[in-house]
Structure 1
Amino acid sequence: MLFVDVTPRVWARILDIRQGRACACCGSWDKGERAALDLYGPLARRDLGPVTVGQIGQSLDGRIATVTGDARDVSGPDGLAHLHRMRALVDGVVIGVRTALHDSSRLTVRLCDGQNPARIIIDPQGRLPDDAPVLRDDGTRRFVIQATERPRARGVQVIRLAPKKGQLDPAEISARLRDEGLHSLLIEGGGITIARFLEAQLLTRLQVAIAPLLIGGGPQGLTMPSPSEYLSNALRPQMRAFSLGSDVVFDCGFTPAAAQAQKPVHATLTPRQPSYH
């Protein structure tokens, strides 16, 4: 397991990588800083094309909330800071409407240096009120993806999609967001939204952050719409483990682009085939 130490100087380097002004391979770093570059560098890089990463925080027993829906303190303080760093490295953050309604999400980078990403809410039926915190006008781009013709407040960009079998297609969502210039996406929640992007084979990476607590009940982290009946058909991603302090992150790669991103910029790599079945 790699122990991550996000010092101010290594975070400054990571932000420079995001801007295309630096690489993740050069410089003199201690082990913790090098682990930080290994963890965040693949998400910060913009030289390998579009990236979509899912992130989910859960307990040791695989829960993302209690039976009453309390999810605010599932991640420890280091896990929460990690999530804010991930936001700072992407062009846009995607959540489902249930997450927006229940968690009063703001999707900002309050816990680290960096720019706020575009905020994207998947709201097929137009349930999200215009005064929701995630739609607050703070100069950041805001999108609502919906099937209804419900109008939105001034400044909120609406992407209308036709539902398929009662659901909005993750592939169409990804394509429309990239048409808007959002090439690096974080699928943050909830578990159903992440699982639908994962099953559609749209995730480059998936990060599962585990906090040391046992909840005993409540919703599970990931439940696939069409789960494997046999272990031989289960997804088997490339995996690395990082200790953040209060939480442990399992960083899973699913595509050749994920493997390529873990190599220095000047290295060559023959990527493996995707691990989707």
Structure 2
Amino acid sequence: MERALTQADASTPAAQALARIRQADSARPFVVAQLGQSLDGRIATVSGESRYINGDEGLDHLHRLRAVVDAVVVGAGTIDADNPQLTVRRASGQNPARVVIDPRGRLNGAGRWLADDGAPRILLSAAPRSTPAGVEAIVVPARAGRMAPAAIVAALAARGFRRILIEGGARTISAFIDAGAVDRLHLIFGCTIIGSGRAGLQLEPLARLADALRPATEVYKLGRHDILFDCGLRDAAGD
């Protein structure tokens, strides 16, 4: 699928980060994950409130990301908690395919992601199941209620999606990073200090700092309130 940058998007502060995705080698799937958080690494307060940790500039960047990928992926928990549309509204471009990971069959067939706007809507399930009209079901085997990120990427690649955005939630993004399935991570820090609440990335525990990921990173100031760290994870393994 061709997902071109518009002239307006090409002039944004993070145009280079977007172009890197657009120009990625299509010989294999390219996976980018995006997470918005506070300066102290929180994605929500203790009560679960998360709107809006990032400002307008961060939201604009998220929508531009959606516009340059073929598919946007979220977990069932994000659908339950946020009821997102997963469409391109704050930027120019076509809506990507909307993909929801639901290994436990928890979704009830409702939600704004199901709107029939011409974009493919795909439900990833661990076993065959009925879906709402117009929604494609793809079976991805699960173990202990979890699908392997590599299996998800392979299933979407077989469907023809080459540029894939893992948008949420934080647990899903963390699982993809732990599995080594993310090429680039876009961390957007909002200029807010919360001091408590839900942390963002929660990766497997490390005993040695030498094993920490050390990605080559580009930094972009999106506006007054948001800063983007564009991290290359493909070759970021520790010593």
Equivalent residue number for residue 9 of structure 1: 7
Q: Is 1:237 the counterpart of 2:235 in the alignment? A: no
* CA deviation profile, 1:133-179 (whole Å, cap 9, x unmatched): 11222211011111143310121111112212331111101000000
Equivalent residue number for residue 38 of structure 1: 16
* CA deviation profile, 1:116-149 (whole Å, cap 9, x unmatched): 0000111111212212111222211011111143
Equivalent residue number for residue 236 of structure 2: 275
Aligned counterpart in structure 2 of residue 102 of structure 1, from 75, 81, 84: 81
* Percent identity of paired positions between Structure 1 and Structure 2: 42
Distance in 2 (alpha carbons) for counterparts of 1:111 and 1:244: 14
Compared CA separation, residues 167 and 36, structure 1 to 2 (3 A): closer
Q: Which AA in structure 1 matches 2:214?
A: R
Distance in 2 (alpha carbons) for counterparts of 1:106 and 1:154: 17
Distance in 1 (alpha carbons) for counterparts of 2:184 and 2:109: 32
Compared CA separation, residues 150 and 48, structure 1 to 2 (3 A): closer
Structure 1: give runs of 5+ residues left out of the alignment: 1-7, 15-32, 256-273
* CA deviation profile, 1:202-241 (whole Å, cap 9, x unmatched): 11100100001112222111001x2211110001111111
Look at both structures and tell me which one has the larger radius of gyration over its CA atoms.
1
Aligned counterpart in structure 1 of residue 154 of structure 2, from 168, 172, 175: 175
Equivalent residue number for residue 35 of structure 2: 56
- Single out whichever of 193-202 and 121-130 deviates more from structure 2: 121-130
Aligned counterpart in structure 2 of residue 166 of structure 1, from 134, 145, 148: 145
Equivalent residue number for residue 218 of structure 1: 197
CA contact (8 A) 1:59 1:214 kept: yes
CA displacement at 1:184 relative to structure 2: 0.3
Distance in 1 (alpha carbons) for counterparts of 2:232 and 2:143: 28
Question: Runs of at least 4 residues of structure 1 off by over 6 A?
Answer: none
1:17-36 counterparts in 2 under 5 A?
Answer: 33=11, 35-36=13-14
Distance in 1 (alpha carbons) for counterparts of 2:178 and 2:171: 10
Distance in 2 (alpha carbons) for counterparts of 1:44 and 1:162: 30
Higher strand share goes to which structure? Answer: 2
Please, what TM-score do these two structures have when normalized by structure 1? 0.79
Q: Is 1:199 the counterpart of 2:178 in the alignment? A: yes
Other structure's SS at 2:105 match: coil
CA displacement at 1:276 relative to structure 2: 2.4
CA contact (8 A) 2:98 2:119 kept: yes
Distance in 2 (alpha carbons) for counterparts of 1:130 and 1:107: 16
Compared CA separation, residues 192 and 34, structure 1 to 2 (3 A): closer
Distance in 1 (alpha carbons) for counterparts of 2:46 and 2:148: 29
Equivalent residue number for residue 19 of structure 1: none
Equivalent residue number for residue 153 of structure 1: 132
Structure 2: give runs of 5+ residues left out of the alignment: 1-5
Q: Which AA in structure 2 matches 1:42?
A: R
Compared CA separation, residues 250 and 181, structure 1 to 2 (3 A): same
Residue correspondences, number: 232
CA contact (8 A) 2:42 2:196 kept: yes
CA contact (8 A) 1:10 1:36 kept: no
CA displacement at 1:46 relative to structure 2: 4.6
Please, what TM-score do these two structures have when normalized by structure 2? 0.92
